[in-house]
Structure 1
């Protein structure tokens, strides 16, 4: 299995689709029905992360080929690359470095998830990225991950402000749910999306904001919704035992059934709608911000956030221009145009015109009360 063969032709029996990311076209090729299905599940609504189905109207800006092989073939590719190319390292994700091999006209990157020893590879050539990875559940996820990484880099290059935030939609407006890890962003966002009339869930963990006239447009980044049983308890969800989820339930011995367990159940965009019964909204104009605290020991509260508190939390959870998000730009994603994002200061000035609330909940009853009180607050 030579690099020249892998990058010069598509795998036999491969499915091809075209995706539009903002104003750029990606040609996606895979010989794995499971990987193709996961792409559909993740970007199931046009507009998630600015991604939508397209057609071959023009030459693609980038080709991403996904080639599922036997593990021995992947190992052979990496061994040959190690013997014939220049060794280096790169930052796959923050503080997580992996080997790379620079050859003539191509670079081979070793792909390894932080929680697994399974090894895959990505070959970068001009205008093309070729994934070579084992036929496995973990391997099937690499294609979606690379598409999401490419779309994020395009958005960031074109001037998106990126926030560590969940979000829900209400009355056609987007409400960011911002807080540090463990604050309860995902729980609060999905709970309100389920309870508020005319509401919807926008996404988990990361939102992209673009200036549109006097306001901001919020676009969801379709990372999996990660919840533990404590979050489901707070939402009053009890029927999860019957769910059929692509990623499966956390294994026996995990702590996912604790209130703030680290092991979590992961749901794709489409699974959120299917199992939690919520409408998924890919983008909406910014309407306000909620700063949550989910804590069984704390009492219920909902009140306007002070400007100082809001600025502290939002600034701490805003990705700066220098934040690499996914590690270094090892993919070298081509972009058509570049723009600087709005400053955090300008964004905070805009928020002064919108509802910015902080809340505390610890039970399903608190969440129900929050939904009623929130609706009353934003109507004023």
Structure 2
């Protein structure tokens, strides 16, 4: 098999679209309607992680091609790479290393999800990333994953400060919900988005509301050119919640949902409040099934440090500066953090800017509402919505 020739292959009858990743164009080519649909569903609404549709570009700096092959064809590609190139390893995500093969003008990377034995590959050349994968549901996801990694690299090169956080929007301003894993960020953010918009009471998708849900687990913060405040942009990771979180929000009709990722299988612990197995909803599915408007970005207006604990009593009030600093420092992904592994895609960027310092960000928070809360029931969340609304109104 000729690896270079395969890297230059563009399938006949392909779907071609052009994306703008912040200010950088990206060309995407695939024959899979399922993979193309997943890209649309993930980067929705336009502007999620700074990604939106754009018109055709004659010389885009990077093209991503999505090819489907049989498992035997993928193994043949990997054998050909191994026979003609220098073998090494790379870090796909933190602490997860896979084989790579460095040839003359190309590198082949083995792709394998940490939870699956299904194998795919990616060929990297100077201007092209070619995904070679099986025609499966898992395979369809590699295109989205590569685009998300490209967008993240562009954002971080542009100076984004990345926080381990969820977020919702109220009165057009973003409220970061920051906390350690298991603190209840996702539950708190989506519950307040529903309740503050009225969607938790049966309104339709928060239509016309100044409130909405932004995203789950990771937010990018950028300073405008005038240096006035911060703008929050959501990373389109699925909302990962378990049945306990739905119970706390009073959501009972989930069995009727038709979700792309499916429900956790029998025997999983997703029905426990803090179970490890989660139901995963895309941003489109959040809007469809939880009835909230999804907002891709908004100016930073407040911070909430949550604790969701069925055995804890309700509390709400200002957060002490020392506590705020501790939580944020533990949950800040700096420019050098290898959350996404090494820059194996070698993403071309037009400029590199250092992110704002954490001290500068903490100093800015002294001008905003920084609150903390403890909730353990649907009644507590309803009370929190009222208290939050009153606190930011003052």
Within the candidate set 281, 286, 309, 2:300 is matched to: 286
- Give the equivalent residue in structure 1 for 2:253: 239
Alignment of 1:60-75 (within 5 A): 60-75=60-75
Q: CA deviation at 1:240?
A: 0.3
CA deviation vs aligned residue, 1:236-281 (integer Å, no higher than 9, x gap)? 1000000000010001111001111100010111111011100000
Query: Does 1:43 pair with 2:57?
Result: no
Q: CA deviation at 1:300?
A: 0.7
Distance 1:193 1:60 in 2: 38
Query: Does 1:207 pair with 2:219?
Result: yes
Distance 1:226 1:60 in 2: 34
Within the candidate set 284, 287, 290, 1:273 is matched to: 287
- Give the equivalent residue in structure 2 for 1:299: 313
Q: Is the 8 A contact 2:3 2:80 kept in 1?
A: no
Q: Is the 8 A contact 2:173 2:300 kept in 1?
A: yes
- Give the equivalent residue in structure 1 for 2:83: 83
- Give the equivalent residue in structure 1 for 2:138: 138
Within the candidate set 227, 243, 246, 1:229 is matched to: 243
Q: Is the 8 A contact 2:68 2:135 kept in 1?
A: yes
CA deviation vs aligned residue, 1:334-367 (integer Å, no higher than 9, x gap)? 0001100000000000000000000011111111
SS in 2 for 1:196: helix
Q: CA deviation at 1:98?
A: 0.3
Q: CA deviation at 1:69?
A: 1.4
Distance 2:195 2:68 in 1: 42
Within the candidate set 289, 309, 325, 2:339 is matched to: 325
Q: CA deviation at 1:202?
A: 0.2
Q: Is the 8 A contact 2:25 2:57 kept in 1?
A: no
CA deviation vs aligned residue, 1:62-98 (integer Å, no higher than 9, x gap)? 1000111111111111111112211000011100000
- Give the equivalent residue in structure 1 for 2:95: 95
SS in 2 for 1:256: coil
- Give the equivalent residue in structure 1 for 2:203: none
Distance 1:76 1:12 in 2: 22
Query: Does 1:3 pair with 2:19?
Result: no
Alignment of 1:38-187 (within 5 A): 38-187=38-187
Q: Which runs of 5 or more residues in structure 1 are unaligned?
A: none
Distance 1:89 1:332 in 2: 15
Q: How many residues align?
A: 380
Q: CA deviation at 1:58?
A: 4.1
Which structure carries more strand by proportion?
A: 1
Distance 1:274 1:48 in 2: 17
- Give the equivalent residue in structure 2 for 1:256: 270
CA deviation vs aligned residue, 1:293-330 (integer Å, no higher than 9, x gap)? 01000001111000000000001100122202200111
Normalised to the residue count of structure 1, the TM-score between the two structures is: 0.99
Query: Does 1:370 pair with 2:361?
Result: no
Q: CA deviation at 1:214?
A: 1.4
- Give the equivalent residue in structure 2 for 1:338: 352
Distance 2:152 2:335 in 1: 13
Distance 2:5 2:285 in 1: 37
**Displaced runs of 4 or more, over 3 A:** none
Normalised to the residue count of structure 2, the TM-score between the two structures is: 0.95
Q: CA deviation at 1:139?
A: 0.5
Q: Could you tell which deviates more after superposition, 251-260 or 9-18?
A: 9-18
- Give the equivalent residue in structure 1 for 2:204: none
CA deviation vs aligned residue, 1:182-218 (integer Å, no higher than 9, x gap)? 1000000000000103310000000000012310000
CA deviation vs aligned residue, 1:23-51 (integer Å, no higher than 9, x gap)? 10000001111100000000121110000
Distance 2:59 2:181 in 1: 41
Distance 1:232 1:176 in 2: 21
Structure 1 vs Structure 2 CA RMSD: 0.8
SS in 1 for 2:192: helix
Within the candidate set 213, 216, 234, 1:220 is matched to: 234
